[in-house]
Structure 1
Amino acid sequence: MHNSAKNHKLTVDPTSISTVTEPNHHSSTLVYDIRDSRYLNITGRCTLRCQFCPKHNGSKQVHQYELSLSAQVKPEDIIPLLGKVTSFDEYVFCGYGEPTLNLHTLIVVATHIKAAGGNVRANTDGLGNLFHRRNILPELAHCVDSLSISLNANTEALYIQHCKPKLKGAYEALLEFISLAPDYIGQVQVSAINGLENVNIEQCRQLVEQRGCEFKQRELDVVG
């Protein structure tokens, strides 16, 4: 899960919440509201195993909402739950997985939102190109207004230590994605967490700003 989805005060319309029944009879939230944005939880899969992520520390919840998923979410699961597009400042693809791993659903749903006049943001670990073995940014450019990318380390060694990527060459691919993103997406913000052991926040800022993106400093265990 990327940091923007934790520890906010949720204001949720109960009629907007969709649940799917898990084998253990727990329910998973597909959409949930934070302030004036609607968040879309489309996959439980991830390319990272971040040691600071709650799902690797015994929790798969945002407040009372269970975000674990047993299957990839399809466009037809999400589109009926979007509500009135103009009622929200933006729709954010962000759950407890990496949304670009369910790229088809992301693009179909985002295109639907854009056609209805809405704004779309995707929170990503920036490894979509590496995972799909192609540049997915041209596809995202048609339907995504802004990207929030997690950097979280100023060196490859620290990235491996804290984020434990599943794919080889992840850090280099992430930096390349950050460099490419402004050529395709209007707003690109890249974050790093202050408080991770040995991570130099100012060096993270330099890496981001050198690549033409906005830097956002987050604090460990404090989100928002």
Structure 2
Amino acid sequence: MIVYATHKGGRYLPMEESLKEQPEGRRGLYVNLTNRCNCACTFCLRQMKKMAEQSSLWLKREPTVEEVEAELDGVPWEYVKEVVFCGFGEPTERLEALIALLRYVKGMHPDIPTRVNTNGLGELEHGRVFASEFAGILDTVSISLNASNAARYLALTRAKFGEKSYEAMLAFAQHCKPYVPNVVLTIVDKVEGPDEIEKCRKICADRGLTLRVRAYEDS
């Protein structure tokens, strides 16, 4: 599934089905670009969640930019409150496609907010700083902080780049600040306890960043 909406119970539905179940109100429109990820997080639903074929986020192949644009063109935009690039893979793995599609959404629907959910390791993946390319097309970047130190972060994420991943993720957040209005770091409730969450809150406060505690989804 390339374009979908989320519903209670951890369900993902095509927009047509979403509107049948919930005909009123605006909702987030999610865009799934890839299965690829440079982390293998211990708590990730990729490894724990079974899905019916018709509602699976696993892609049989990566869609082209043109194919994603075609799906977006068919969306009832009057029901969309935000466009979120987030699937079961890491969206910055397909950086050029991500940038192109953010431009497309903002060009067609400039008043609708855009968001990218990312592990923040795209700079390591691509070997360059690219945050400036988000200027004017991305409203919020949500980055998975996950832990208060590099060793704990690596134990949780099993990032392919090793312990240097942690500081690279924090550097990416700082690089985004001049170009993205809302830079948010996240940690998952129940994966980490209150003490660890408070340490993460201080890290964000010291860097002028926002921390959001995400609800753990185990189904």
- Shared topology, TM-score over 0.5? yes
Which residue of 2 is the match for residue 40 of structure 1?
31
Query: Please, which of 71, 82, 88 is the counterpart of residue 81 of structure 1?
Result: 71
Contact preservation (8 Å) 1:9, 1:35:
no
Which residue of 2 is the match for residue 109 of structure 1?
101
Identity %: 32
Which residue of 1 is the match for residue 208 of structure 2?
212
Contact preservation (8 Å) 1:39, 1:95:
yes
Range with greater deviation from structure 2 (79-88 or 7-16): 7-16
Deviation at 1:71, TM superposition (A): 2.8
Q: Note the aligned Cα RMSD (angstroms).
A: 2.8
Contact preservation (8 Å) 2:26, 2:81:
no
Give the 3 Å change call, closer, same or farther, for CA 60–167 of structure 1 in structure 2: farther
Is 1:119–2:113 an aligned residue pair? yes
Give the 3 Å change call, closer, same or farther, for CA 73–63 of structure 1 in structure 2: closer
Give me the whole-angstrom Cα distance separating, in 1, the residues matched to 2:116 and 2:66: 19
Is 1:67–2:57 an aligned residue pair? yes
Which residue of 2 is the match for residue 200 of structure 1?
196
Which residue of 1 is the match for residue 3 of structure 2?
none
Query: Please, which of 171, 175, 188 is the counterpart of residue 170 of structure 2?
Result: 175
Which residue of 1 is the match for residue 137 of structure 2?
143
Bigger helix share: 2
Aligned amino acid, residue 147 of structure 1: V
Give me the whole-angstrom Cα distance separating, in 2, the residues matched to 1:141 and 1:55: 31
Which residue of 2 is the match for residue 22 of structure 1?
none
- Which runs of 5 or more structure 1 residues have no equivalent in the other structure? 17-33
Deviation at 1:42, TM superposition (A): 0.4
Aligned amino acid, residue 153 of structure 2: Y
Contact preservation (8 Å) 1:37, 1:89:
yes
Range with greater deviation from structure 2 (37-46 or 198-207): 198-207
Give me the whole-angstrom Cα distance separating, in 1, the residues matched to 2:151 and 2:84: 30
Give me the whole-angstrom Cα distance separating, in 1, the residues matched to 2:54 and 2:60: 18
Give me the whole-angstrom Cα distance separating, in 2, the residues matched to 1:106 and 1:134: 16
Q: Secondary structure at the match of 1:180?
A: helix
Give me the whole-angstrom Cα distance separating, in 2, the residues matched to 1:155 and 1:102: 28
Give me the whole-angstrom Cα distance separating, in 2, the residues matched to 1:124 and 1:209: 20
Q: How many residue pairs are counted as aligned between the two chains?
A: 202
Give me the whole-angstrom Cα distance separating, in 2, the residues matched to 1:56 and 1:15: 26
- CA deviation map 1:58-105 (0-9, x unaligned): x35499610112332211111111124454111100000000111111
Deviation at 1:40, TM superposition (A): 0.2
Q: Secondary structure at the match of 1:188?
A: strand
Give me the whole-angstrom Cα distance separating, in 2, the residues matched to 1:216 and 1:63: 32
Which residue of 1 is the match for residue 16 of structure 2?
14
Q: Secondary structure at the match of 1:71?
A: coil
Give me the whole-angstrom Cα distance separating, in 1, the residues matched to 2:52 and 2:128: 32
Q: Secondary structure at the match of 2:211?
A: strand
Q: Secondary structure at the match of 1:114?
A: helix
Aligned amino acid, residue 186 of structure 1: P
Contact preservation (8 Å) 1:119, 1:144:
yes
Give the 3 Å change call, closer, same or farther, for CA 78–166 of structure 1 in structure 2: same
Give me the whole-angstrom Cα distance separating, in 2, the residues matched to 1:55 and 1:62: 14
Aligned amino acid, residue 53 of structure 1: C
